[in-house]
A = this chain, B = another copy of it.
Amino acid sequence: MSDQYSSKITTPMPSRRRAGPSVADAIALRVVGGEWPEGAVLPTEIELAEELGLARTSVREALGNLKAKGMLVSRPKTGTRVLPRIQWNMLDEDVLRWCWSDQNRERTALHLMQLRRIVEPAACEIAAASASDTDIAVIERAYRAMDAAGADPVAFAGPDLEFHRAILSATGNPFLISLGATIETALRLSFELSTRQPGAPRKSLPMHRDVLDAIWARKPAEARLAMETLLGVTESNIQRGLSAVAASSP
């Protein structure tokens, strides 16, 4: 149609890169880093835009994300404030990731473990009682992949995550499934901690096997117990990893 845009308004602009979600990352990391503590009001959108070398639109998009995750709130004239951490949605994968780069990963790792020991045995019980054959096949496939990974911790990690996630998924409960995604993210972040004991992953294979067998045999009580045992060992591995970190850093 009409190509009558006779006026070129914007300057040539040598490069207009695509920032993507890294803008939200940048701001979020400064928030968790304590640059603007809880209750503080952060700079105006225009100031942030200038500082980051972006348009106000892009900054607004990032701030909108953080608002959607319960980290910020903003009102006209007052500005944008940091909400108390209690209100942040810690079960959101991004929030979890951002908060991970915090001082106290140890406590977070232990809190995560506490959550797992609450949720996963129960999920195991439900899965043993009501999972479909297809669901169980997915769990079994993850187990086989763990077995095939041998003693390599890096190759072992992926199927390991998938194994635990598949059990959550097998419950058919959307809340537990979402929780599975959260737990998987957290595990991925804490990978370094859980594999400081070189032989540990491989040693856990028989316990995974016990879990799988119990689910396959449709024995809920046994499945719960097997998962409790597995997580008990996992937790002690992580705790040993933590104390090793504490010992090596002055």
What residues of chain A have their CB less than 8 Å away from a CB belonging to chain B?
57, 60-61, 64-65, 68-69, 85-94, 108, 111-112, 114-115, 118-119, 122-123, 126, 169, 173-179, 181-182
A178 CB contact (under 8 Å) in B90, B94, B169: B90
How many Å lie between the Cα of A111 and that of B115 in the bound state? 18
Q: Are B174 and A111 in contact (CB under 8 A)?
A: yes
> Could you list some 9 contacts between A and B, CB below 8 A?
A61-B61, A64-B68, A65-B65, A89-B178, A91-B175, A91-B178, A114-B126, A114-B175, A118-B118
How many Å lie between the Cα of A65 and that of B177 in the bound state? 21
Q: Are B175 and A90 in contact (CB under 8 A)?
A: yes
Contacts of A61 in B (CB 8 A): 60-61, 64
Contacts of A118 in B (CB 8 A): 118-119, 122-123, 176
**A176 and B115 contact, Cβ closer than 8 Å, known pairs A68-B68, A68-B69, A182-B91:** yes
Q: Interface on chain A toward B: helix, strand, loop, or mixed SS?
A: helix
How many Å lie between the Cα of A88 and that of B126 in the bound state? 22
Q: Are B86 and A89 in contact (CB under 8 A)?
A: no
A65's nearest neighbour on chain B, judged by CB, is B68
Contacts of A175 in B (CB 8 A): 90-91, 111-112, 114-115, 182
**A85 and B174 contact, Cβ closer than 8 Å, known pairs A64-B64, A118-B122:** yes
A125's nearest neighbour on chain B, judged by CB, is B118
Contacts of A123 in B (CB 8 A): 118
Closest approach, in angstroms, between the C-beta of A66 and any C-beta of chain B?
9
A91 CB contact (under 8 Å) in B57, B88, B89: B89
Q: Are A87 and B181 in contact (CB under 8 A)?
A: yes
A87's nearest neighbour on chain B, judged by CB, is B181
Q: Are A86 and B169 in contact (CB under 8 A)?
A: yes
How many Å lie between the Cα of A92 and that of B65 in the bound state? 13
